[in-house]
Amino acid sequence: MNLETVISNVRKLAADADVSHVDFLAVQVTLTDCDPGMFYVEVKDHKVNVEPYDYHDRNCAISMKSDDFNKLISGELDPVAAFTVGKLKVDGDIGKALEFSNLLK
């Protein structure tokens, strides 16, 4: 799956996400099997932005294969289980990574 398709899917999910309780959240996502495979999701002022750029002032960065990421956002893959078996790697605040995965479900 290519990066544009993944970003499009995340934007659709983000449009329906309830972010009324989130002040700020910035997560960079790296899809390890796409080139380029980096984008970010930012919740700021109760709005969600999804852009295909590197985000330096982030709460955390996650990396995983695109198929696993699609399973994660569709609810087929539990984020804790994915982290435990090494399918999901987190750099930064693990709590924010969990908050991110819950927003997109």
Domains along the chain with CATH numbers: 3-103 (3.30.1050.10)
How far apart CA 86 and CA 88 sit, in angstroms, is 5
Say whether 45 sits in a helix, a strand or coil.
Answer: coil
pTM for this structure?
0.91
d(CA 69, CA 49): 18
d(CA 38, CA 19): 22
Question: What is the distance between the alpha carbons of residues 39 and 97, in angstroms, rounded to a whole number?
Answer: 14
Confidence of residue 80 (pLDDT cuts 50, 70, 90): very high
Q: How far is CA 70 from the centre of its chain?
A: 10
Residue 82's DSSP bridge partners are: none
Q: What is the mean pLDDT of the chain?
A: 92
Q: What is the pLDDT of residue 19?
A: 92
The 10 Å Cβ neighbour count of residue 87 is 18
Question: What average pLDDT does range 24-35 have in this prediction?
Answer: 94
